[in-house]
Structure 1
Amino acid sequence: MIKTFIHDKEKAVSAVYTSAGYIIHQHRQAIELDGEFISVRPKTFALLLLLIQRPQEVLAKKYLLDNIWDDVAVEEAVLVQSIRELRQLFNNNEIIQTYPRKGYAWSADVQTQPSSSERAPAANQFARPRKYLPYLTMSLAAVILAAIFLFNAPHQKTVATEVVVILPIKNEIPGLDHKWVTLGGMDQLIHYLPADNHTQIMSTEYVLQLMQHAQIPRDYTGGHAAKIFGASGASLVVETSLSGSVEEYRLDYKLRRQRDVKQGVVFDKTLDGALQKLGSIIASHTGAKSDSTDSITQNTFANELMGRALEKMDSGEYQRARSLLNTLKEFDANNVTARQMLAQTLFHLNDYDAAKAEVVAAISIAKPLDSARLHFLLAEIQYRQGVLDAALETLERAESLNQAQNDILYLGYIAQLRGAIQQQNGLLAPALSFYDQAIKYFGTIRCPIGISITHLQAAKLLFAHHENHQAKIQYLAAKKLILDHKLYKLEPMLAEVRAASL
């Protein structure tokens, strides 16, 4: 796209502007006030230039989006947030006027001066740092269980004494401002409680698929808890509801076990503070260690985008999720979770090259738990691309990382993917061995969904090799689990395998 704002090379490099008492240094990509330099994000600075080069002129939102974010599909919210940033940087809400349904205009006078007047930045030039969105420590599951053909590792002897399922947060605050909390807040809480040797915190996507398999609605009640215990093998189910208002948040909770319920309420001025308090309470009941090395506190803008993206991914609206995640990534290129979710979205859109690029970028800045799961996602992408040897090498690294984190769910996924690769290579015995290891991992965390799907994969493989007796054993094992645990969504897969036997 040809940009319509000033792009002449000499003028672009040399231009220095003054407006509202500030000096805008185009070459330094910073603004100056009283000798203090303030760094500005690249896209936000480009927006600033576009506005000050045409002061008092109303510039349409589409025009601004097309010229500043022409290289990526983003939401209009990215423009709104950048306008907010500029108003904060200039400490003046009136510096940029909003014209409803039309656009924005720079309201102050602007003068231009030559760049030779620019002076070297003082030692404290970055005394007022740019405002990054905080690093998000949430980590999302890399694969939806409904498509689980894909995963292997040596049998893990450690038995998880706690398997924790955290359900979506019921939002009882009127209006749309907190709609994102249902999944976004749930995801924050999940990742505030990393797995350890004795506790497994089930991932966001696992929980969403679990609810689908067990036909549990979002507006669940206490009566649905029995289904959760039956379908997941959970030892603790966490129910929450959010009420109150801004700076007066109330988070009610119930910690359900099969024969016991503990309930309570936490209050805080911020939602993030309430989630952290609840995370500490859950940790005290499970013996888990809450992640105190990183705060889950985030900018509300980031929270909302993350929650909305999760909603779109859960409903299969991947193009919309892609746009939301691109918007979030624009504001924080080091946001590992945004990149991981974007890679998952691109994976579902069959854009494997782009998905791989996002995963590789995320791995380079990820923490151990994130890196472990990202390596699995990379292997899955390589598997879909048909690069099987590379996928197996990546899985070796993923196995090592996940063993260090004791992430048993993902060790099960790795075993399944290894089995699928050996199956594609036509190697019956190794494939069955990996499927058996996956079943053992899923058994460790009492996951009937993972066990059932793996049994069905093994049965389908055995039927294809005319090993009908062994195939029926696998099929019947899956059928019993599906019926006993009321995993209704797996019934079509059960029927498919049954048809393959005829």
Structure 2
Amino acid sequence: MRYLLNQVEIDLLKGTATTREASQDIRAKTLAVLKILIQHSDQVVTKTQLLETVWQGVVVQEQVLVQSIRELREILGADCIKTHPRIGYQLVVAPIPIQGAKVTGKWRFAMVSVVLMLIISGLWLTWMRTVNQPETRYPTVAFLPVENAMLDDVHAAVPLHGLAYLSEYTQAEGGLPVVAAEHVLTTLSHSPWYSNDTAQIRLSRRQDVLQLQERLGADLLVETRLSGFPQDMQLQYTLHFNRGAEQGVVFASGPELAYQALIARLVTRYGEHDQRLDIQSNLDFSNEAFARGLQMYLSRNYQEAIALLRSALRHAADPLTVRRYLAASLANNGDVAAALSLLQQNIVARGGDVVTRRERMRANLMMGYLLINWPQQTDREHELSRAEKYIATAREQASDNSDHLFIAYALEELGKIKRMQGRYSEASRLLHSALSYHQRFDAIYGQTNALIELARIATEQGEEQEATHLFAQAHRVAEASNAVPNQIWIWLAQADLLRQARQVEQANQLALRAKALAKSADDPVLIERVEAWFAKAPIYTVN
């Protein structure tokens, strides 16, 4: 059977697509997808139906279907298949059956005439809609307060400052109409989705989103979450449309730079009149899968994170960043060998751009970190020497890029290696140098790890008074910023040393304080780390 689709002749028996210029073969699975879309051209075909029919009996990722849809759009035209987010796909051009052996002469003339009539009809309908619509408009955007995933006082202003910044500059720079931040806050304060106790918004159901959009009068509702560390942050975002949602992530060294990156994406995508928010024709699957994988990674669901990140990696414009998070997920899931192999690919990646250079530096640092904290060899001294080489390389790369944060990180890890080797004088010198870098940043609690390592050195040398002084200094630094994770990490480090000294009761008391604070913060990562301590399991994870 043959059909004419958008002036392309499709032969379902031969599996070919023919235009005036050339003929090409259609991949078997892609052809099977097209057959189903033609058979049900008057309705939406669900993703489940397509996957179960075309890939019957085979366990596959959703990406295989996305790839087939991409191939069909390349053959037929980008607008011939409509995506219904989270539901499925629909053929939006009428398939015209071709009778006879060949489309030539009067048949070709007749079919071209039919196509022209359809085009004229479409233009007439478009004109009618324009006449009946008083004026064209941009989509109205509403931002929710930015969720702050950094448990410290330094970033306490993130929710309201982020809301104000995104609202003001999206309208000022992009010309998009934006619901005023004050109106958003007033609406939220009278809604069932806002908690006065936690100052958090929870839109747990799709219906919640739609109701809030209606109350705000918004075509597009934007949720954001800021996480990471000072100088090294990530902004996850969810765009809520009337018919679905899309996720993404941007990286930046600070909150405002992250907001600017998101604004640039929104303006580029929606800064034209009459955008159809229910049609995500330029949806970047790799970024969607990456964002969802990152979400699973941060919630400690490493199995799902691995599956999503592997899907994202196949089509990512920035494979190095995706590969790094995949390596971290594999390591935290226990497959350190696979993580090391992925990071090695980043280390040898070519390119002189800023992103590639920084990812090479990160890869070297992570390689060293994994070799220090997850021993893979019986020859521990040799393994630590390997780790030192990777971290020393990361330090050189950070120095070349004037990246003071990663210089500090590298100095900390080098100091830890020297402590583990019993070379305390060298370790102390490296750690004090790391402290001097951290003291340059507004977030002073970055000094915590270096102070803990110095306290460990003092303990191992029998200088208990000095160790007590260093731990007290670490607590003061963490408490000054109300950095909950750091306070917990200090208590666990003290408890660990007490347990090694067989002072079990005192160790448990400190660990219980850490556990209570973790539960109070309602942070699953912190709770998991404390529980790992009680189980005498490794408490380290790749962040």
Quickly name the TM-score band, shorter chain normalised. Answer: 0.5 to 0.7
State whether structure 2 residue 57 is matched by structure 1 residue 61. Answer: no
Query: How many Å separate the matches in 2 of 1:316 and 1:376?
Result: 22
Q: Which residue of 2 aligns with 1:469?
A: 465
Report the equivalent of 2:266: 271
How far apart, CA to CA, are the structure 1 residues paired with 2:232 and 2:338? Answer: 24
- 1:414 positional shift: 0.9
In the TM superposition, what is the alpha-carbon distance from 1:89 to its structure 2 partner?
Answer: 3.0
CA distance in 1, matches of 2:285, 2:492: 44
Alignment of structure 1 residues 332-481 onto 2, 5 Å: 332=316, 335-363=319-347, 364-365=349-350, 367-383=356-372, 384-386=374-376, 387-481=383-477
1:182 aligns with 2:224: yes
Residues 37 and 462 of structure 1: is their aligned pair in 2 closer, same or farther, counting only changes over 3 Å?
farther
User: CA 1:275/1:88 → structure 2, altered by over 3 Å: closer, same or farther?
Assistant: closer
Q: RMSD value over aligned CA atoms? A: 5.5
List per-residue Cα deviations over 1:309-365 (Å, max 9, x = no partner): 332222222222222212211223752221122122112212112212322333414
1:360 partner SS: helix
* In the alignment, structure 1 residue 48 sits paired with structure 2 residue 48: no
Instruction: Report the structure number with the largest CA radius of gyration.
Output: 2
Q: 1:164 and 1:245, CA in 2 relative to 1: closer, same or farther beyond 3 A?
A: farther
Structure 2: how far apart are the matches of 1:145 and 1:441?
A: 21
Aligned CA distance change for structure 1 residues 97 and 389 (closer, same or farther; 3 Å): closer
Change (3 A) 1:474 1:243: same
Which whole-Å CA distance do the structure 2 matches of 1:485 and 1:164 have between them?
Answer: 9
The 2-side partners of 1:483 and 1:242 are apart by 36
Structure 1 equivalent of residue 231 of structure 2: 202
Is the CA contact (8 Å cut-off) linking 2:223 and 2:238 kept in structure 1?
A: no
Mapped to 2, the partners of 1:92 and 1:435 lie a distance apart of 56
Q: CA deviation at 1:454?
A: 1.9
The CA deviation string for residues 360-409 of structure 1, in whole angstroms up to 9 with x for no partner, is 33341462122222221222233324432222111122111111111111
Contact residue 267 and residue 274 of structure 1 kept, 8 A: no
**Equivalent position of 1:301 in the other structure:** 285
How many angstroms does 1:271 deviate by?
0.8
User: Which residue does the alignment assign to 2:491?
Assistant: 495
Does the CA-based 8 Å contact 2:443-2:481 persist in structure 1? no
**Counterpart residue number, 2:295:** 311
Secondary structure of the structure 2 residue equivalent to 1:204: strand
Between 1 and 2, higher relative CO (CA 8 Å, sep ≥ 6) is seen in 1
Letter in 2 for 1:381: L
Report if aligned partners of 1:47, 1:68 keep a CA contact under 8 Å in 2.
Answer: no
Give the alignment partner of residue 79 of structure 1, picking from 62, 65, 68.
Answer: 65
Measured at CA, do residues 497 and 343 of structure 1 come closer, stay the same or move farther in structure 2, by a change above 3 Å? closer
SS in 2 for 1:395: helix
For 1:380, give the aligned amino acid.
Y
Matched, 1:34 2:16: no
Q: Which has the higher helix share?
A: 2
Relative to structure 2, which stretch is displaced further, 302-311 or 349-358? Answer: 302-311
Looking at structure 2, the residues matched to 464 and 88 of structure 1 have their Cα atoms a distance apart, in angstroms, of 65
Out of 317, 329, 350, the position equivalent to 2:313 is 329
User: Within 1, Cα distance between the matches of 2:238 and 2:80?
Assistant: 38
User: Residues 371 and 34 (structure 1 numbering): CA distance in 2 closer, same or farther, change over 3 Å?
Assistant: farther
Q: CA deviation at 1:242?
A: 9.0
Q: Deviations over 1:386-444 (max 9, x none)?
A: 43222211112211111111111111111121122223323322222222222122112
Structure 1 residues 430-470: Cα deviation after superposition (integer angstroms, max 9, x where no partner):
22222222212211224322202321232133223322132
Q: Which residue of 1 aligns with 2:250?
A: none
Tell me the CA shift for residue 487 of structure 1.
Answer: 2.0
Partners of 2:33 and 2:356 in 1: how far apart?
A: 39
Which residue identity is paired with 1:48?
T
Residue 522 of structure 2 corresponds to: none
Query: Structure 1's 38 and 338: CA in aligned 2 closer, same or farther, altered over 3 A?
Result: farther
Secondary structure at 1:458 match in 2 = helix
Q: 2:187 corresponds to which residue? A: none
State the identity %: 18
TM-score by length of 1: 0.54
SS at 1:466 equivalent = coil
- TM-superposed deviation, 1:66: 7.3
The runs of 5 or more residues in structure 2 that have no matched partner are 99-148, 167-183, 185-207, 214-218, 244-253, 272-281, 377-382, 504-543
1:125 aligned residue: none
* Cα distance in 1 for residues equivalent to 2:388 and 2:50: 51
Gaps in structure 1 of 5+ consecutive residues: 1-16, 111-143, 147-162, 191-199, 209-239, 247-256, 277-297
Opposite residue 344 of structure 2, the aligned amino acid is V
**Equivalent residues of 1:418, 1:431 under 8 A apart:** yes
Q: Distance in 2 between matches of 1:481 and 1:267?
A: 33
Q: Provide the residue aligned with 1:131 in structure 2.
A: none
The answer to whether the Cα contact below 8 Å between 1:359 and 1:374 also exists between their aligned partners in 2 is yes
Which stretch of the first structure deviates more once superposed, 59-68 or 431-440?
Answer: 59-68
Provide Cα deviations, 1:101-121, integer angstroms capped at 9, x if missing partner: 89999x8989xxxxxxxxxxx
Separation (CA, whole Å) in 1 of partners of 2:156 and 2:268: 21
In structure 2, do the counterparts of structure 1 residues 332 and 482 end up closer, same or farther at CA, with 3 Å as the change threshold?
A: closer
Q: Measured at CA, do residues 338 and 357 of structure 1 come closer, stay the same or move farther in structure 2, by a change above 3 Å?
A: same
User: Cα distance 1:202–1:178, how it changes in 2: closer, same or farther (>3 A)?
Assistant: farther
Question: What residue number does 1:129 align with?
Answer: none
Mapped partners of 1:356, 1:301: distance in 2: 26
Work out whether residues 87 and 96 of structure 1, in 8 Å CA contact, stay in contact via their aligned partners in 2.
no
Task: Give the superposition deviation at 1:53.
Answer: 8.9
Give the aligned residue type for 1:375: N
- Aligned residue among 91, 103, 106 for 2:77: 91
Q: 1:65 to 1:483 in 2, by over 3 A?
A: farther
